[in-house]
Amino acid sequence: MKVSTMRRILATENLVGCEMDALRKQFDVTFEPELWKNPAKLREMIGEYDAIMVRNQTKVTAELIGAGKKLSVIGRAGVGLDNVDCDAATAAGVVVVYAPEQNSISVAELALGMMLSLARMLPAADASTKAGGWDRKRFFNGIELYGKTLGLLGLGRIGFLTAMRAKAFGMKIVAFDPKISADSPMVVESGARLTALTELLAEADFVSCHIPETPQTVKMLGYEQFCRMKPSAYFINTARGGVVDEAGLGKALEEKKIAGAALDVRAVEPPAGLLSKADNVLLAPHIGAFTVEGQERVMRSVCGDVAAVLRGESARNFFNFAQPRKAAKS
């Protein structure tokens, strides 16, 4: 049965697919994929909508939530909630729904792909060969993942999936995660050995970052930490750019304190260019979650939960509560 078009959804980023098409058949959906760039206009508009749907670019601040007089649900198409003021949403009685694990496989596979690319110098080899070269001697010193030690910063869902795939390559797994215990299923099934951060950095041949950006983790990894790594080691970040002090990373790379790095996420996106000229750095534009399969799962989950809340039903994947806690303001 078609829901009244009085229930309105505002999509502020590029949210497309059959699940969004299904929402349009039930609700009045306004699609403004560039609106995240204009916070002032967004604040002016939000008061007329019952739901807002975002990715990671839109800043859903306390001020914006306060301006959302009719707002009952915020839909975040992804796992990270650092761009949503969840405390403000909870205080306002607004449901926050997201996709806590739907794109985890996509991110884990990218982390492994970046490790392989660094180990075999694939981007440089590709560029050299396409330029007419056949420089086999230059790329003679690639390394195998087999037998190497992978250090995981964070052993949550994505860290665990990365560990299981690395294990299939014959890698040894060590992990730093203060929030889990040695008898956790994540540890037992992956065969990871929990260790302190300093020990992990000194031991690992590849360090892969899978920790959220919080006030406690901002710039957690800087020049001092990178200097603790082996000169032959590589750093991979598919989590959040803010956990890395990019100036410190750049200095460590320039001084050959580490062998190289692969970054899918940056402290500022799009970045100002720092690290872009280093030949031992592999960069991607925050595409970890962007696979066909991963996005289908994400959109199915978030669109389903937004629709459920607007119909007066309970959300399944929610951060705070399954239904709005107070009536929308008139």
Enter the tokens of residue 114: 């970046």
61 CB contacts (<8 Å, ≥6 apart)? 85, 88
Q: Is 240 one of the catalytic residues?
A: yes
Cβ pair 47, 25 in contact under 8 A: no
Candidates 55, 157, 210, 240; catalytic one: 240
Q: CA 190, CA 174: separation in Å to the nearest integer? A: 10
For 1, counting Cβ atoms within 10 Å of its Cβ (0-12 exposed, 13-18 middle, 19+ buried), the class is exposed
Q: What are the strands, taking DSSP E only, across the chain? A: 8-11, 28-31, 51-54, 73-76, 95-97, 149-153, 172-176, 193-194, 206-209, 234-237, 260-263, 281-283
Does 210 qualify as catalytic in the annotation?
Answer: no
Kindly name the residue from 224, 269, 293, 313 that is annotated as catalytic.
269
Distance CA 76, CA 79 (A): 8
Which entry of 165, 210, 286, 297 is annotated as an active-site residue? 286
User: Backbone dihedral region of 171: left (phi > 0), alpha (psi from -120 to 50 degrees) or beta?
Assistant: beta
Active site residue ranges: 240, 269, 286
